[in-house]
Amino acid sequence: MVAIHGKEVTHRSAIAEGFIIFSNPESMNSLLLESNKKGDVISIARIAGIMAVKKTAELIPLCHPISITGIKVDLTPNKKEISVKVRCEVHCDGKTGVEMEALTGATVSLLTVYDMCKAVDKMMRISDCRVVKKSGGKSGDIDLYHPSSNSEHHR
C-alpha cells in the first residue's frame, strides 16, 4: 500500500461515467416505464452505486479507506442512443484521491442496470467507464470535457 502519511489533507473530487447500451428500444422500455419485474431500475442502480463507493477499499486491494464527504450518482436514459449514462461524483477531504471510488460507484451502477434488465435484453453492453474529471492533490486537475483547464503536466 502506498504511504500517504506525509501528504497534506486537501479537498478532492472525482467524476466517473459510463454507459450501458441496450440492443433495441423495446428492451429499454422496462427501465423507462418502471415496469421491470425486479423493481425501479434507476433508483436501485443509484443506491447500488452509492453503496459501492462506500465499500471501495474492501473491494480493491491496496486501496486506502477514506472518509467520503459526498456522493452523487445520476442515471440519464437516452432514447435516441438506446442507452443509459451513469455519472458518479465523489468528494472527500483527505490525503488521497477518490478516482477509484467514483469508478467503483459508476461500474456497480452499470452492473445493477445490467442485472435488472438481463431478462429482457441479453445483448446489452457496458461501455466507456472512465474518470472524466478529478481535482485536488499533488497531480492536479483533469477535465476531459474542458482540457484547457487541466493542470500543466496533464496537457
> Which residues carry out catalysis?
115
DSSP letters spanning 98-131: -HHHHHHHHHHHHHHHHHHHTTT-TT-EEEEEEE
Cα dihedral sign, 114-90-51-40: negative
> Cell numbers 465499500 label which residue?
55
The answer to whether 133 and 142 have CB atoms below 8 angstroms apart is: yes
